[in-house]
Structure formats: structure tokens, C-alpha cells
């Protein structure tokens, strides 16, 4: 034990951001989401959205569970950033990627490296709604196919997962119900961080 290095702890801190867009897939069969006037968050997510619910089925992102097993949902809300959508677009030789093309529910502006927000980061919105970051969102071919449909460049289906690696945003669960509107200010509360 004496030869172990001490664990460095980065203190908690708060960033400020702004809601750039709110989107939902409610009532749609497709992967994509569309802009709406407001997101009315419930504790089980967004009514009718494909990721709503307290539980979901395990898939390839959870290889430690049998495929199809019922697990707690930490993917109720998909969050992306204006800055990272622009970076993905540049890497693909496009303009900024539209958040709805990749199934996002919330686009934030002003959070550098949003995809690296640690698990446990809390997002507090004016009006009371709160989200908890659960994990980084890995890019997938569903999103790549949607982009290829919009750009009419079939190769984008395969280019997107590479270009969006560690830039695809985060997934979150609802900690406190409430309404989120475009233009709203967000307090992004990062917890203490350390590497075990």
C-alpha cells in the first residue's frame, strides 16, 4: 500500500451553457428527431420518444448483460453540442450536422468538449428541470444512415462513426421533471473527478 500513488482529485465546478435546440422523436417511427417548441420532461423521459421509459432492453452497448435483458434506462435524453456538431461536419467535409439527423433531444451551446462530461454531471435548467449525465454516446450507423439520406452521399453512413468518435455527445436521465425551452440558460455542474 505504501508504494501506491495518491489519487489526484479535480474539484467540482460549474459551467454555463445555453439551450440551442430542443427535439423529440415523439410519434415518429424513424431514428431522427424534429425540433419542437419545448421539451416537457417527465421522470421517465419524453412522452412518446423512442427512448422514453424507466427501463429498456440491453443491446450491444451493454455486453455484460444478456442481449434483450430488461435494464434501467440511462438513455432517456440524448444531448449534443453546437461546437461538436460543427467539428463532425468539418471532419466529414460538410457544414454542421443537424442535431435531429442523429436523434438528439437537446443541443447545447457553450460547453467545450461536451462529450467528455463525466458521468454524474448534472444539468440544471431555468424553471427547475434537471438531467444527470449517464455516459458518452457512441456514434452508430443508424445516425450515419440518416446523415447519408440528407447529404445524398452514401459513404457518409460509414464516415460518420469515425468522424464522430468521442464527439457524439452524452446520454442522460431525468432527475427532475420540468420544461426546457430554446434559449434557456443551463448550469452544468461537474462533480469531483478522479481516476481510480
Confirm whether 184 is domain-assigned.
yes
Place of cell 460543427: 86
Residue 181 lies in a domain: yes
Whether residue 61 is contained in a domain is answered as yes
Q: What is the CATH number of the domain that holds 122?
A: 2.40.33.20
Whether 2 maps to a domain, the answer reads no
Chain segment 5-22, per-residue pLDDT in tens: 889 999 999 999 999 999
Residue 21 within any structural domain of the chain:
yes
Please state whether the predicted TM-score (pTM) of the whole model is above 0.95. no
Query: Is 113 in a helix, a strand, or coil?
Result: coil
134 within domain boundaries: yes
Residue-range definition of the domain harbouring residue 88: 13-190
Residue 4's pLDDT is 82
pLDDT tens per residue across span 119-146: 999 999 998 999 999 999 988 878 888 8
Residue 118 inside a domain? The answer is yes
How many domains does the structure of the chain reveal?
A: 1
Residues of the chain with pLDDT under 50: none
Q: Nearest Cα to 27, choosing from 50, 55, 45?
A: 50
Amino acid at each position: 500500500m505504501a508504494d501506491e500513488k495518491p489519487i489526484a482529485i479535480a474539484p467540482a465546478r460549474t459551467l454555463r451553457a445555453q439551450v440551442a435546440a430542443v427535439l423529440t422523436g415523439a410519434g415518429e417511427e424513424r431514428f431522427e428527431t424534429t425540433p419542437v417548441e419545448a421539451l416537457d420532461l417527465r421522470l421517465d423521459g419524453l412522452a412518446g420518444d423512442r427512448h422514453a421509459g424507466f427501463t429498456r432492453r440491453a443491446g450491444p452497448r451493454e455486453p455484460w448483460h444478456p442481449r434483450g435483458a430488461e435494464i434501467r434506462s440511462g438513455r432517456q435524453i440524448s444531448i449534443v453540442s453546437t461546437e461538436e456538431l460543427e467539428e463532425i461536419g468539418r471532419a466529414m467535409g460538410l457544414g454542421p450536422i443537424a442535431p435531429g439527423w442523429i436523434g438528439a433531444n437537446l443541443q447545447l451551446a457553450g460547453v467545450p468538449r461536451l462529450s467528455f462530461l463525466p458521468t454524474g454531471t448534472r444539468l440544471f435548467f431555468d424553471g427547475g428541470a434537471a438531467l444527470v449525465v449517464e455516459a458518452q454516446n457512441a456514434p452508430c450507423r443508424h445516425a450515419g444512415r440518416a446523415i447519408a439520406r440528407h447529404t445524398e452521399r452514401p459513404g457518409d453512413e460509414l464516415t460518420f462513426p469515425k468522424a464522430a468518435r468521442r464527439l457524439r455527445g452524452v446520454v442522460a436521465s431525468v432527475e427532475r421533471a420540468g420544461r426546457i425551452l430554446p434559449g434557456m440558460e443551463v448550469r452544468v455542474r461537474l462533480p469531483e473527478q478522479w481516476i481510480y
